[in-house]
Homo-oligomer: A and B are copies of this chain.
Amino acid sequence: MDACTTLGAKFEDWQALGLDEERCPVRNLLDQIGDRWSMLLLAALAGGPKRFSALARAVPDISKRMLTQTLRMLEVSGLVHRDVQPTVPPSVTYSLTPLGRSFAGPLLGLVDWAETHFAAVVEARAQAKKAA
């Protein structure tokens, strides 16, 4: 049974349960990390702990507001650990929890797909634009 068939079967199961946002793990996950920044920050932290300002530099086009907000959400969900050093000036280090690290595998799968098939997607979009 290939991945496609398996996925189709799983979808049937969720559907039978009403695809409820609260109960369905997949809907829940998508609500969590289906935003513009979550996956990117998890990837940024995969290499090791980073400080707030280092993360801000690593992802140039994120605002401080969204950086704080996204990290908080990831922390609440148990994917990221926030370590505050009570120095002056304060120093805050973020790192992946074991749960966060366990997410690296699936995320890497997505990343690999993106890199492998990026050219095909660009090509498809070019074709579509030409047809229009």
Instruction: Give the dominant DSSP class at A's interface.
Output: helix
State the Cβ distance, A44 to closest chain B Cβ, in Å: 5
Asked whether A68 is an interface residue with its Cβ less than 8 Å from the other chain, the reply is no
Chain A contact residue count (CB 8 A cutoff)? 68
Residue of B nearest to A22 (CB): B122
Residue of B nearest to A102 (CB): B117
CA distance A29 to B113 in the complex (A): 9
State the Cβ distance, A108 to closest chain B Cβ, in Å: 5
Q: Which residues A2-58 have CB closer than 8 A to chain B?
A: 2-12, 15, 18-19, 21, 25-32, 34-36, 39-40, 43-44, 46-48, 58
Say yes or no: A111 contacts B7, CB within 8 Å: yes
Say yes or no: A120 contacts B78, CB within 8 Å: yes
